[in-house]
């Protein structure tokens, strides 16, 4: 299944080894030897995408030497992450994590691609803060946004999310059974939200 671009472009930063600027990686990654890996139709597609669509970051920055350094099972797993961009050469990102730990497992490659996509240089540390008391000065009186007080009637809203539940793989690796189980869990959560 195709995974939307927004579902896998989040950046995970590591405080253990501060990332180097992307400019340190790009020339080395783009110049990685293509001849090192042979015999895989998916690798041939990546080489073709690199040649035909240099803006496809997965293909442009695919490091064949890094790929060759992985054990066979991880090579296949990495290729699964790259499959969409290899098969759809006009993709801008072209790479999508299948499991949450792919970001850490394939960090030497994924970090470079994600940084290129988001134009990130230097160290980045994301801090999630769901504590609304720290945003009190930005909230309406009472702490809730009531659109009817702004003169709007019933309003439809779409929330686009690109993350998964920790009990399930990311969308590209989900089975039909996974999707149905996740749907059932989400229905419970939605009922709670509606009740609030």
**pLDDT for the residue numbered 163:** 62
Token code pair at residue 59: 């293909």
Question: How far, in whole angstroms, is CA 106 from its chain's centroid?
Answer: 12
Top mean pLDDT of 13-22, 78-87, 119-128 is at 78-87
- Choice among 94-98, 102-106, 156-160 with the minimum mean pLDDT: 156-160
User: How far apart (Å, rounded) are the C-alpha atoms in residues 79 and 82?
Assistant: 5
**pLDDT for the residue numbered 133:** 79
Percent of the chain scored above 90 by pLDDT? 41
Each residue of 102-121: pLDDT tens digit?
999 999 999 999 999 999 98
Q: Is 93 in contact with 5 (CB distance < 8 Å)?
A: yes
User: How far apart (Å, rounded) are the C-alpha atoms in residues 182 and 98?
Assistant: 16
Q: Give the pLDDT band of residue 161 (cuts 50, 70, 90).
A: low
Q: Tokens 């098969």 belong to which residue?
A: 87
Q: Tokens 């793989």 belong to which residue?
A: 169
Each residue of 57-71: pLDDT tens digit?
999 999 999 999 999
**pLDDT for the residue numbered 60:** 97
Over residues 166-193, mean pLDDT: 88
**pLDDT for the residue numbered 43:** 96
74 closest CA partner among 44, 94, 50, 104: 104
Q: Give the pLDDT band of residue 37 (cuts 50, 70, 90).
A: very low
Over residues 159-168, mean pLDDT: 70
Contacts with 115 (C-beta within 8 Å, 6 or more apart), sequence order? 11, 19, 22, 25, 121
Average pLDDT, the chain: 78
Measured CA to CA in angstroms, residue 118 lies from 8, 22, 102, 112, 115 at distances of 12, 10, 18, 10, 5
């Amino acid at each position: 299944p195709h995974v939307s671009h927004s579902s896998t472009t989040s950046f995970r930063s590591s405080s253990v080894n501060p990332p180097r600027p992307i400019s340190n990686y790009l020339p080395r990654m783009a110049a990685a030897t293509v001849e090192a890996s042979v015999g895989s139709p998916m690798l041939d597609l990546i080489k073709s995408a690199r040649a035909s669509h240099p803006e496809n970051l997965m293909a442009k920055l695919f490091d064949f030497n890094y790929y060759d350094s992985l054990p066979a099972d991880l090579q296949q797993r990495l290729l699964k992450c790259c499959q969409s961009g290899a098969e759809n050469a006009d993709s801008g990102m072209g790479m999508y994590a299948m499991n949450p730990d792919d970001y850490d497992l394939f960090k030497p490659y994924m970090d470079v691609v994600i940084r290129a996509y988001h134009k990130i240089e230097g160290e980045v540390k994301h801090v999630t803060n769901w504590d609304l008391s720290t945003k009190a000065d930005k909230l309406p009186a009472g702490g809730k946004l009531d659109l009817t007080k702004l003169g709007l009637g019933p309003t439809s809203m779409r929330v686009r999310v690109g993350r998964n539940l920790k009990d399930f793989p990311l969308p590209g690796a989900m089975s039909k059974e996974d999707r149905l189980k996740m749907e059932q869990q989400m229905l419970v959560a939605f009922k709670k939200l509606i009740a609030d």
